[in-house]
């Protein structure tokens, strides 16, 4: 029987005041509640079903909640604790403002769409990050903490796009043979062993569910008892990616991937290469897979890992030969591993304290070899080589704060390329989203060597430009002297006609190109991008806003006082506009996302020479309307609009900011 719904204003445990219902599920109703102790809004799960009917199940749930409350990871929903109010049992947890993956999948299914391969990887990779962290923690049984059902209903996506996994251990606490299991929205994603023995499962049970989620992301449907090849459901799924899914879905837990990190790595490699290091037939989703086939798969994985290690050693040897000591970027597995020496705060057992950083051993042999190397003429370090070293980096954990705005998140490789393009400088602030650390870009240990070589590289480029300008100026001076001499002779010969023309002619007007996209495809040397003038009505709106601000400053005594501008009350929201310079800066980082659409249209229409894109940015920072060459429909428009709406701009207190730019194809 379902528990009676709680009314707004009801206080639970003398602490949590119910605000509104958030949803109903097999594990119980979910509410948003105000925590009177901390002042924050939390999510409150009122536990229902078979768990509350069994004291043993409640004890099991308490143990799982206590363990889950110690998990602190950016991809895991924080659990604060479990309490009791009369006959009610409740779990307090972090409130994630966003939507579940289940709701997002349902919406895409209704529109006949599925996730792209990159989008599916982004979701699964973050889920694997969460599981990797959790599986390294001991659960109530003393073995690895298992989620039990990391399905679409437990995967939440907040408004900033961050993926978070919730409901840790709740399913594992259900009694064996519980009828509540069948009422769970994600029951179809349970592993076979989870249905039979929920209290004695391994992390392999979570790997199975990840495979179900990946299948549903790419095809729009869950795999049935006898799943057919994925490319029959949706075309274009690489065989290597299908192999990753089938291996996750093996009925035998021992035949699946050994860890969530292995799933993430295998999916990344399959997505990048489109070819799996497995048998030609792929991995069959049956229990009849032979040990020889699994051995071939493991051997292929080992060979790929060995090749990556050899490549890393080769780069290190090259760097040591240059007399430079570079540190490789931390790999995803190292970033996901818990910090050594973490301690539990005795006063607050739900808060983990960060230990002091452990000093790392210095590479003495490499330093000695570098010191003994001849200093006559060290080999030049190419900035392109340093950029290539982070090509495998996929963790978007870095933000840049510039001009009081946040940009990102970036992977370390993407950030280095943005620094190379001059979009940011060494003086901008780098924020680690995982730890909250903030420091200047050039001071970060992972960027110190890179920034030193980059600034040297940029200084060299600047010196070359100055030298080239000086040479050009010298040539221009000589040309001017020659022209003056010729003009003088001509004036004497022709009565000054040519001289009059030279004095009155208009200078040549050149178009200013603000950005150039290079190496875009065959037949095109580049794409020049130029911003269009701001619409007249928006210019007037911006000027009117500036005048209102000026009047407010005068009324408040010139200093602004404590006046807070709440926008125009006659409009929905404020009346602020996003700065055009900010719009252009964000787009400079994202022009490459639109290039494939332009090249695809160029292949269909060889007469295409220019593209004009006009778009509007909502106050939430999301792109709304998009027009391509004045059209709002068609395959070209759909491609551009879809990619434009993936670009995030800074939020502002207004309804809409419009902008437009042109892209000229250079053959």
User: Is residue 403 pLDDT above 80, yes or no?
Assistant: no
**pLDDT attached to residue 319:** 53
pLDDT band with cut points at 50, 70 and 90 for residue 266: very high
Q: Check: CB of residue 148 under 8 Å from CB of residue 131.
A: no
Angstrom distance (rounded) from CA 18 to CA 20: 6
Asked if residues 86 and 176 have their Cβ atoms less than 8 Å apart, the reply is: no
- The mean per-residue pLDDT over the stretch 267-279 comes to 65
Tens-digit pLDDT profile for residues 161-203: 789 999 887 888 777 666 676 667 788 888 998 888 877 789 9
% helix, strand, coil for the chain, step of 5: 40, 15, 40
Please compute the mean of the pLDDT values over residues 314-324 and round it to a whole number: 51
| pLDDT band at residue 323 under the 50/70/90 scheme | very low
- Bigger pLDDT: 297 vs 33: 33
Residue 482: pLDDT band (50, 70, 90) is confident
pLDDT class for 268, splitting at 50, 70, 90? very high
Residues 595-599 have a mean pLDDT of 87
* Rounded distance between C-alpha atoms, residue 79 and residue 164, angstroms: 12
Kindly state the average pLDDT of the residues 102-116. 91
pLDDT at 18: 94
- Which helix (H) or strand (E) segment holds residue 343: the answer is strand 343-344
Strands 352-353 and 163-165: unpaired
First to last CA, the chain: 71
What is the DSSP-derived secondary structure letter of residue 469?
A: H
Q: How confident is the model at residue 44 (pLDDT cuts 50, 70, 90)?
A: very high
Q: Using the CB atoms, write b or e for 371-401: b if 16+ within 10 Å.
A: eeeeeeeeeebebeebbebbebbbbbbbbbe
- The answer, yes or no, to whether residue 215 has pLDDT greater than 90, is yes
Structure tokens at 108: 């895409």
* Pairwise CA distance, residues 552 & 280, whole Å: 72
- What does the pLDDT read at residue 523? 58
Mean pLDDT, to the nearest integer, of 123-140?
93
279 or 73: whose pLDDT is higher? 73
Q: CA angle, corner 239, sides to 235 and 243, nearest 5?
A: 125
Task: For residue 206, name the pLDDT band (cuts at 50, 70, 90).
Answer: very high
pLDDT at 546 over 70: yes
At a CB cut-off of 8 Å and minimum separation 6, what does 331 contact? Answer: 392
- What pLDDT, on the 0 to 100 scale, is given for residue 301? 45
For the record, the structure tokens of 17 come out as 């005041």
How many of the other CB atoms lie within 10 Å of CB of 219? 21
- What DSSP character marks residue 137? S
**Predicted pLDDT at 280:** 34
* CB-based contact 107:162 (threshold 8 Å): no
pLDDT at 142 over 90: no
pLDDT exceeds cutoff 90 at 79: yes
What pLDDT does 302 receive?
42
**pLDDT, mean of residues 566-590:** 70
Q: What pLDDT score was predicted for residue 279?
A: 34
- Rounded to the nearest 10 degrees, what angle do helices 239-248 and 204-219 cross at? 140
Query: What's the mean pLDDT in 115-142?
Result: 91
Q: Mean pLDDT highest for which of 333-337, 380-384, 508-512, 517-521?
A: 380-384
The mean of the pLDDT values for the chain is 75
The yes/no answer on whether domain 11-304 falls in CATH 3.30.470.20 is: no
Residue 65, pLDDT > 60, answer yes
Q: Residues 474-487: what's their mean pLDDT? A: 74
Q: Does the structure show a pLDDT above 80 at 320? A: no
* Greatest mean pLDDT range, 199-213, 294-308, 374-388: 199-213
Long-range CB pairs of 250-255 (<8 Å, 24+ gap) are 250/208, 250/283, 250/285, 250/287, 250/289, 251/192, 251/286, 251/287, 252/287, 252/289, 253/191, 253/193, 253/202, 253/204, 253/205, 253/207, 253/208, 254/204, 255/289, 255/294
* 455-484 average pLDDT score: 77
Mean pLDDT of 428-448: 83
CB atoms within 10 A of CB 367: 12
- Reported as a pLDDT band with limits 50, 70 and 90, residue 589 is confident
- pLDDT tens per residue, range 28-37: 899 999 999 8
User: Cβ neighbours of residue 51 under 8 Å, at least 6 residues apart?
Assistant: 27, 57, 58, 61, 89, 173, 174, 175, 180
User: Of the ranges 10-14, 60-64, 137-141, 508-512, which one carries the lowest mean pLDDT score?
Assistant: 508-512
Alpha helices in 249-346 (DSSP H): 260-273, 291-321, 332-336
At residue 324 the predicted structure's pLDDT band, cuts being 50, 70 and 90, is: very low
Nearest-10 crossing angle of helices 260-273, 239-248: 170
Sheet holding 405-410, edge to edge: 405-410, 398-402, 429-432, 438-440
pLDDT at 94: 94
Residue 488's pLDDT is what? 65
156 contacts 185 by C-beta, under 8 angstroms: no
Give the pLDDT of residue 518. Answer: 52
Closest CA to 413 of 437, 392, 397: 392
Considering only residues 365 and 347, tell me which one the structure prediction assigns the higher pLDDT. Answer: 365
Give the range among 39-53, 253-267, 338-352, 630-644 with minimum mean pLDDT. 338-352
- 451 vs 420: CA distance, rounded Å: 9
- Identify which has the larger pLDDT, 52 or 62: 62
Stretch 261-286: mean pLDDT: 64
Q: What angle do CA 13, 14, 15 make, to 5 degrees?
A: 85
What's the pLDDT tens digit per position in 494-542?
Answer: 555 444 444 433 333 333 444 555 555 555 667 888 888 888 888 888 8
Question: Is residue 25 scored above 60 in pLDDT?
Answer: yes
Q: Which two tokens stand for residue 7?
A: 């009314």
- Of residues 119 and 49, more confidence is placed in 119
pLDDT at 226: 80
Q: Read off φ and ψ for residue 262, nearest 5 degrees.
A: -65, -40
């Amino acid at each position: 029987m379902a528990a009676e719904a709680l009314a707004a204003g009801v206080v639970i445990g003398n602490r949590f005041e119910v605000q509104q219902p958030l949803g109903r599920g097999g594990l119980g109703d979910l509410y948003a509640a105000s925590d009177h102790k901390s002042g924050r809004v939390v999510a409150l799960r009122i536990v229902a079903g078979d768990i509350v009917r069994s004291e043993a199940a409640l004890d099991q749930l308490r143990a799982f909640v206590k363990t889950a409350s110690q998990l602190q990871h950016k991809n895991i929903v924080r659990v604060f604790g479990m309490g009791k109010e009369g006959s009610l049992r409740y779990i307090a947890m972090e409130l994630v403002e966003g939507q579940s993956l289940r709701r997002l999948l349902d919406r895409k299914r209704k529109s006949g769409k599925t996730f792209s391969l990159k989008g599916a990887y982004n979701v699964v990779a973050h889920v694997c990050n969460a599981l990797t962290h959790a599986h390294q923690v001991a659960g109530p049984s003393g073995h690895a903490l298992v989620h039990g059902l990391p399905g679409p209903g437990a995967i939440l996506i907040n408004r900033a796009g961050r993926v978070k996994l919730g409901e840790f251990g709740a399913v594992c606490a259900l009694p064996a043979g519980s009828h509540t299991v069948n009422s769970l929205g994600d029951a179809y994603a349970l592993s076979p062993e989870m249905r039979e023995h929920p209290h004695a499962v391994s992390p392999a049970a979570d790997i199975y569910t990840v495979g179900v989620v990946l299948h549903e992301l790419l095809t729009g449907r869950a795999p049935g008892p006898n799943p057919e090849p994925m490319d029959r459901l949706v075309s274009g799924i690489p065989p290597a990616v299908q192999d990753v899914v089938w291996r996750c879905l093996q009925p035998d837990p021992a035949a699946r991937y050994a860890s969530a990190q292995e799933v993430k790595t295998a999916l990344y490699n399959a997505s990048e290469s489109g070819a799996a290091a497995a048998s030609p037939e792929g991995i069959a989703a049956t229990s009849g897979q032979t040990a020889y086939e699994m051995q071939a798969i493991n051997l292929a994985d080992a060979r790929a890992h060995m090749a990556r290690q050899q490549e890393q050693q080769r780069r290190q040897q090259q760097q040591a030969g240059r007399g430079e000591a570079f540190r490789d970027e931390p790999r995803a597995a190292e970033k996901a591993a818990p910090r050594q020496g973490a301690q539990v705060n005795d006063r607050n057992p739900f808060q983990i304290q960060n230990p002091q950083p452990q000093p790392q051993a210095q590479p003495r042999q490499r330093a000695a070899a570098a010191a003994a190397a001849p200093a006559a003429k060290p080999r030049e370090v190419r900035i392109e080589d340093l950029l290539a070293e982070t090509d495998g980096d996929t963790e978007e954990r870095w933000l840049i704060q510039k001009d009081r705005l946040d940009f990102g998140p970036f992977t370390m490789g993407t950030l280095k390329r943005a620094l190379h393009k001059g979009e940011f400088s060494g003086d901008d602030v780098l924020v680690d989203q995982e730890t909250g650390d903030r420091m200047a870009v050039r001071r970060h240990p992972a960027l110190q060597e890179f920034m030193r070589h980059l600034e040297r590289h940029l200084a060299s480029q600047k010196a070359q430009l100055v030298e080239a300008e000086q040479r050009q100026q010298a040539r221009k001076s000589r040309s001017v002297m020659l022209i003056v001499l010729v003009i003088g002779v001509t004036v004497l010969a022709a009565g000054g006609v040519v001289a009059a023309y030279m004095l009155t002619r208009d200078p040549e007007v050149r178009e200013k190109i603000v950005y150039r996209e290079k190496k875009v495809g065959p037949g095109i040397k580049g794409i020049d991008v130029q911003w269009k003038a701001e619409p007249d009505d928006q210019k007037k709106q911006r000027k009117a806003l500036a005048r209102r601000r000026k009047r407010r400053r005068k009324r408040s005594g010139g200093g602004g006082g404590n006046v807070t501008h709440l926008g125009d009350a006659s409009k929905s929201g404020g009346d602020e506009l996003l700065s055009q310079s900010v719009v252009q800066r964000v787009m400079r980082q994202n022009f490459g996302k639109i290039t494939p659409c332009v090249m695809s249209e160029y292949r269909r229409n060889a007469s295409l020479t220019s593209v004009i894109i006009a778009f509007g940015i909502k106050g939430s920072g999301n792109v709304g309307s998009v027009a391509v060459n004045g059209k709002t429909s068609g395959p070209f428009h759909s491609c551009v609009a879809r990619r434009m709406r993936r670009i995030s701009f800074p939020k502002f207190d207004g309804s809409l900011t419009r902008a437009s730019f042109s892209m000229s194809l250079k053959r």
